[in-house]
Amino acid sequence: VKITYISHAGEARLVEAASGQSAMEAAVHHNIAGIDGDCGGVIACGTCHVHVDGTWTDRLAPPGEKERDMLAYIDNARPNSRLCCQIVLGEELDGLVLHLPIAQH
């Protein structure tokens, strides 16, 4: 599954991730700056916040209640914000594009 992470500065990194991984795990594995995944993917840290590219927003399963609650606390959250530890990669997401917000909290 190919995913592109675009830094706030506009630098794109294409990574090849395994199906079944989360987009946070793939980012940490590939040292994508700006995605820390401090809590290991249990919706407790918010350090995996991303803005989903507009071409993909309709193609992801919507966030669950716990994720929505956490997003409400994150600065610079937008309607296309997600916690990428909750985006589980599969072939249907091949080509996914995620933008990194200016800062993680």
Summarize as ranges the residues that interact with ligand FES (CB under 6 A): 24, 37-39, 41, 43-48, 83, 85
Beta bridge partners of 62: none
Written as six digits, the tokens of 100 are 């990194």
Name the minimum Å distance from CB 7 to ligand FES. 18
Q: For residues 3 and 24, which CB has a smaller minimum distance to ligand FES in the complex?
A: 24
Q: For residues 10 and 65, which CB has a smaller minimum distance to ligand FES in the complex?
A: 65
Sheet bearing 12-16, strands edge to edge: 12-16, 2-6, 96-99, 49-52, 81-83
Name the minimum Å distance from CB 59 to ligand FES. 20
Q: For residues 10 and 96, which CB has a smaller minimum distance to ligand FES in the complex?
A: 96
Report how far residue 28's alpha carbon sits from residue 35's, in angstroms, rounded to the nearest whole number. 7
**Amino acid (1-letter code) at residue 81:** S
